[in-house]
Structure 1
């Protein structure tokens, strides 16, 4: 199993007889008009359909089940429902979504609606977590050591496209610089790419500073932390005492930057690129690349699930993952 968070959750989960039936998977013949079955997929199939390897899929199912008070009653087994939900997120399927599992589109939508809040709650409580400083010091990539040895996190904002709200006021609040209606969120990662914080959604017109101030992000910061951000985050006045902020240099009316400022901006860009890579990984869940319909809460849950699933994929810097897993096993 390639993920630190799943290793931790595996130790916490009691695998009783009812849950062990899902692991290890036993291949079965297709029946009930099911075109796809989780028990017949190989590792490459799982990665394509869900973004997770086979081990991560089955273990995630085991640790999520305690968050489900009662199952959704349908002809599909729980593991097939789980696959259906992750496929909807990963591939953005809609029209032929139910046909792949031998159910109507209405039933497929009901299954997704049932599991969405359960998965979102699990991701927020168990997967998208703020790492303690001792952990950050252990997993911080060597590329940060020279210029940003105390770097705690990298932040940026990203947007998801949504249908235009019928309410005129809400429509104006979501109308962004893209000339489309969007929701905007603050995305925060550890230096190694682990997603530590995802804000609630704001209207696309909201500024980076406004979102940072009202998202609850600053409550996680302690003296000695260092934040890496882009030019739009002029948030130094709202940070707790002892927290530093690294931004690219501004010209402030000058024709050009000094040589030292150019160098520091270049060094910052070299490490800030990780936030762009993680956001690109988030948008690898195709449901976030289309115009999403639904209530704000449901879209917020979808974003939380996709961000949590990113943490269950191999980390952006592989050598850090091996070090982290080794330490967790010794602990």
Structure 2
């Protein structure tokens, strides 16, 4: 439907390609009446099809804030309004006289041009008196007064310019300060130390790579408050610094429930997307190709170095990871088996088993043994008795001798401590919702996924020093 502006004399119409906007008259009775008065068409009332174009508003659009000048249209040229009664014409004539007097006053304040008569000369001509009645001394005083006025006005303008420049500098400095303190993508881009502190990742390039990997899988998350980058950053800060949910809610300006949902969603996404990419069992050829010098002669078939670590729980765990039969339920700790390649990269992480459980039972129940090939050599970082279970797979459980044993143990402990030190959430205690919220389709708790995600993120960082 083609709309035409209802203002008298305005020929604007809604046509293809026009940049003008056309507005209905407000439903609010008081504001609608003010619009009708502004249009100034005697005896006319708007209907449902009546429209007012955007040229009649100062900013080019209507504003619904009653304090704004564009709450009511105010731009109307003389041609656009219908002629009013004689009284209105007299008022317009009086307004023109006042405008002319104001213009003459401004000209006197700023000084007259060389060919223009001064206001006093114009007034004398209008009254029929001679301008020569002014003495030379009076003219000199007027010139001096005008000159002083110009200098004073120039000084005020200069002061205002200086003030404006100072305010702009202060505004720029405040913006930079706020940007530096904020947790935004731009504030992290050129600050590797900030990235490392909040995420554990070495630099922004690695963080951006992780973001690109996860972004296609985040479309299903409906979160109007946080961007995709903020959701990832919030989750990494939760893992890295073990911040409380209320703390993160304050930092990102959201509710605690939003923080909890975001962490759970992002951990699930990273568990299914990032973990298979970063935590995997390498081929035998790849292991031998990158074997540290310290093992090439003594143990060339070394496939993995294993160790166990535990994480205490905050309270009793009712479901999810259950202890082995006969274990003491009162011992609320989660046991994990970790496999480390000789190069220092985490290649296997088990799910957590609750309670007192032997390393052998843990190795047999977590799927670690299925990764071994006949002829592989498994080294242990400390006194772990899983030789029978390893031998059943055709592999060999070896214990390094002499100084090499100390090197192997130190190496594995360095990797385990690096993961837990880099992501403080792994030091525990595990909060009950994370320990017991297992999915129906798997026997993994949310905290099991968090441990695996932490190991995956650790593999994206600089590895522990190889056994050189």
Question: TM-score normalized by structure 1?
Answer: 0.75
CA distance in 1, matches of 2:325, 2:451: 16
- Find the partner of 1:121 among 251, 257, 272: 272
- Please give the residue correspondences for 1:12-23 in structure 2 after superposition, counting only pairs within 5 Å: none
- Find the partner of 1:37 among 180, 184, 192: 184
CA distance in 2, matches of 1:290, 1:200: 16
CA distance in 2, matches of 1:29, 1:209: 57
Deviation of the 1:174 alpha carbon: 11
Deviation of the 1:70 alpha carbon: 1.7
CA distance in 1, matches of 2:353, 2:292: 32
Instruction: Specify whether residues 69 and 148 from structure 1 end up closer, same or farther in structure 2 by C-alpha distance, changes over 3 A only.
Output: same
CA distance in 2, matches of 1:211, 1:123: 25
RMSD between superposed Cα atoms in Å: 3.0
CA contact (8 A) 1:88 1:287 kept: yes
Deviation of the 1:111 alpha carbon: 1.1
Equivalent residue for 2:388?
A: 236
Deviation of the 1:110 alpha carbon: 1.6
- Please give the residue correspondences for 1:52-201 in structure 2 after superposition, counting only pairs within 5 Å: 52=201, 53-94=203-244, 95-165=246-316, 167=318, 181-201=332-352
- Find the partner of 1:210 among 350, 357, 361: 361
Deviation of the 1:214 alpha carbon: 1.1
CA contact (8 A) 1:128 1:308 kept: yes
- Find the partner of 1:47 among 196, 200, 203: 196
CA contact (8 A) 1:130 1:196 kept: yes
Equivalent residue for 2:424?
A: 286
CA contact (8 A) 1:223 1:240 kept: no
CA contact (8 A) 1:183 1:201 kept: yes
Deviation of the 1:166 alpha carbon: 6.0
CA distance in 2, matches of 1:39, 1:212: 45
CA distance in 2, matches of 1:221, 1:166: 32
CA distance in 1, matches of 2:238, 2:408: 33
Total equivalences in the alignment:
276
Kindly name which structure, 1 or 2, has the bigger radius of gyration based on alpha carbons.
2
CA distance in 1, matches of 2:374, 2:270: 33
Provide Cα deviations, 1:101-158, integer angstroms capped at 9, x if missing partner: 1222222122112111111112332111000111111211112123222211100111
Equivalent residue for 1:303?
A: 451
CA distance in 2, matches of 1:127, 1:301: 14
CA distance in 2, matches of 1:175, 1:101: 46
Structure 1 stretches of at least 4 aligned residues deviating more than 4 Å after TM superposition: 28-32, 170-177
Could you tell me which runs of 5 or more consecutive residues in structure 2 were left unpaired when the two chains were aligned.
Answer: 1-174, 439-444
CA contact (8 A) 2:343 2:467 kept: no
CA contact (8 A) 1:218 1:239 kept: no
Give secondary structure in 2 for the equivalent of 1:280.
helix
- Find the partner of 2:409 among 264, 272, 283: 272
Instruction: Specify whether residues 228 and 216 from structure 1 end up closer, same or farther in structure 2 by C-alpha distance, changes over 3 A only.
Output: same
CA contact (8 A) 1:175 1:181 kept: no
CA distance in 2, matches of 1:85, 1:48: 14
Give secondary structure in 2 for the equivalent of 1:97.
helix
Deviation of the 1:272 alpha carbon: 3.0
CA distance in 2, matches of 1:175, 1:241: 26
2:227 pairs with 1:227: no
Question: TM-score normalized by structure 2?
Answer: 0.54
Give secondary structure in 1 for the equivalent of 2:215.
helix
Question: Which structure is richer in relative contact order (CA contacts within 8 A, separation 6 or more)?
Answer: 1
CA distance in 2, matches of 1:123, 1:78: 16
